[in-house]
Amino acid sequence: MEPINCDVLVVGSGGAGLRAAIEAKENLKRGKVVLVVKGTLGKCGVTAIACSDRMAFHATLPYTEPVGSDNWKYHAEDIYRIGGYVSDGDLAAILAKGSQEAFEFLAGLGVPFAKRTEGCADQFVTDGSEYARACYTGPRTANHIEEALLRKISSMDIRIIDRCMVSELIKYRGRVIGAFGIGEREEKIEKGLKILSCKTMVMATGGAGEAFKVHVFPPGMTGDGYALAYRAGAELVNMEFIQIGLSSVETKLACSGSMMRSIPRFINEEGREFLANYFPQGTSRAEIYNYVFEKGASWPVSSEKKTCLIDIAVSKEMVKGHRVFLDYRCNPQGFRFQDLQSKWQERYQSEMKKELGTGKRKESPLNRLREINPTSIEWLKENGVNLEAGDQLEIAPSIQHFQGGIKIRERGDTILKGLYAAGECAGGQHGANRPGGNALLDGQVFGKVAGHEAALEARSIEERQEIRSSQIKKYLSKLISMNDGKQASEMRSEIQSITSQYAGVVRTEEGLKKGLKALEGLKKEKITPDGKGLVFALETENLRDVAEMIIRACLMRKESRGPHLFFGHSDDPQPLPIQDSKWRKYIVIQNQMGKMVLKKKVPVKLEV
């Protein structure tokens, strides 16, 4: 066993975790900051690996329209509005206000944001935004942010502990005083156990993509922060709101933006187009293709957008046993470029990187993609999908982002003393949906806030609370006793099957009840490590808790809002409507005496 003592413990090394560690150290010149990484620093987590056709970092800058000293207010209003009024308005305001400083900090670290000829950041409109705020470097914006933060971290006196999973929080009299960590390299449990003692902690472990079978998350995103905080007694919020978008099965590329605006064919493995089968009777093909174009700017599933019918169509086609592909070789049946609405044609023209001519443009989706995003064609080719050679891009509705998480307030603090949270593992700042690009922004703004506040609190505490030997012995005993039960791989597969079947695009009361019953059966079984090791088994234990949170929250919210599409029956063509009179509230989850308790609460209103 290895004891490790510090003032601030940061768990997670994505954008939020790195920013929190930097800020904590800036405010603790003589104090100790420790950063714990489950994988290898710089090579694990979403920020280090994520990629899309043009990944956005949302920011309101002095020249962002509408220009003015209070233009951040429009940003805050967009966050609150697109969040379905179930986020905390004061957190939305903090995000918007902090965006300029966050952008300037990253630019100062060398993030190569694209610029216009006059030197200003090039910004474009993303889903959920009224104005152009999305800054970018290209498909690898997140990776560039991670690399810049790592360069800064390497110049600071911050201890890095990598390949270590934080597996349980340690409390004393209601306060978080540390955590247990499992070193992945050690074969013997006793030798691999790390005792992490701290004055304050920032949880920044990201989302839980691996709670589902199909997702765009890198390996290891198992909702550890959600589960650890839940078991320790923290509140979680908005766990039913999970962004789902059509993505490449092979490469995990989010098929947003130009991948839709080039208007590919949606076909199954038999080569049949199927979208028209799932739209209301009387919908013309021209209308459908306008929705496909619009889908590029409203990529995640949203009940408020008619583009969700595309996600529903793909989901239902797959339920029938079909595989689904995007085909860029030839135009969809009956497609004519001139049938696109004038606003879409203008947007297309504004995004053109090179001119192929009207004839070529009308000829095929591939030519249109060559005009508006040739980089994506090259990226896909490098990753095994050669569109120019006629390859079709297999897609599926994929889990992309958890809108909810550990409930935080203005200081990034939680109801547990000593525990802060930031990034995707935190909740309350987004609501049901979020403007595209706000996830990367969120990690930087609340990473800074949480790191700053954790450092200030740590400075106010004279001595760390010692972790008692009885607590260590009890946890060690639990780990050693994990030698009987269902194999972790089998358990994880069953959990993923339940969430994917009942809490995906199409959600019904009947299905969610079946899913909950199946989960309750799994909860009665112990989990034992298999060939994938103890860390994998502990992750699976966390996934089981997270899956229950998701299923219970989905079942409680009997309306549609954001990505939560609630159907009266699975065969219904469209989900139930939003019910503001009953449901302009969020669902808060807490562990009370070992029971998962859900309550409806009214969010903090936005006042700007």
**DSSP calls for 570-588:** TT-SSPPPP-HHHHSSEEE
Is the sign of the CA dihedral 511, 512, 517, 522 positive or negative?
positive
Which stretches within 373-527 are classed as H helix?
374-382, 438-460, 469-480, 488-502, 509-523
With bands split at pLDDT 50, 70 and 90, how would you rate the model's confidence at 521?
very high
Say how far apart CA 79 and CA 73 lie, in whole Å: 10
pLDDT tens-place string over residues 278-291: 999 999 999 999 99
Share of the chain above pLDDT 70, in %: 100
Amino acid at 249: V
List C-alpha distances in Å: 379 to 52, 382, 531: 10, 5, 34
**Tens-place pLDDT, residues 420-466:** 999 999 999 999 999 989 999 999 999 999 999 999 999 999 999 99
pLDDT band per the 50, 70, 90 thresholds, residue 186? low
- Phi, psi dihedrals of residue 58, rounded to the nearest 5°: -80, 130
pLDDT band at 51 (very low <50, low <70, confident <90, very high): confident
- β-pairing, 200-203 with 8-11? parallel
Read off the pLDDT of each residue in 15-36 and give the average, rounded to a whole number: 98
pLDDT of residue 185: 65
Report, as an integer, the average pLDDT of 202-207. 99
Q: What is the DSSP letter of 45?
A: S
Global pTM? 0.95
pLDDT in tens, 323-362: 999 999 999 999 999 999 999 999 999 999 999 999 999 9
Any alpha helices (H) in 8-140, and if so which ranges? 15-26, 46-49, 72-82, 89-108
Give the DSSP letter string of 531-543.
TT-HHHHHHHHHH
Q: What is the mean pLDDT of residues 524-548?
A: 97
Residue 461 CB neighbour total at 10 angstroms: 14
Give residue 187's pLDDT.
Answer: 63
Over 90: is that where the pLDDT of 257 sits? no
In this prediction, residues 156-182 reach a mean pLDDT of 97
Residue 295 and residue 567: Cα distance in Å, rounded? Answer: 21
Q: Are 415 and 407 in contact (CB under 8 A)?
A: yes
Percent of the chain with pLDDT over 90: 93
- What residues form DSSP beta bridges with 294? none
Question: What is the helix (H) or strand (E) element at residue 550, kind and residue range?
Answer: helix 534-556
Instruction: For the sheet with 2-5, list strands across it.
Output: 2-5, 193-197, 175-183, 164-172
pLDDT tens, residue by residue, 432-442 = 999 989 999 99
Output the pLDDT for position 384. Answer: 97
Q: Name the nearest CA neighbour of 445 among 428, 460, 423, 464.
A: 423
User: Is the pLDDT score of 184 beyond 80?
Assistant: no
460: Cα separation from own chain's centroid: 33
Please provide the average confidence, as pLDDT, over all residues in the chain: 96
pLDDT number for residue 298:
87
Q: How far is the C-alpha of 365 from the C-alpha of 368, rounded, in Å? A: 5
176 sits in which H/E element: strand 175-183
Mean pLDDT of 172-176: 97
Alpha carbon distance 153, 145 (integer Å): 12
Q: Which domains does the chain have, with CATH numbers?
A: 248-397 (no CATH), 484-578 (1.20.58.100)
Q: Report the amino acid identity of residue 308.
A: C
Q: What is the mean pLDDT of residues 454-479?
A: 96
What mean pLDDT is predicted for residues 10-35? 98
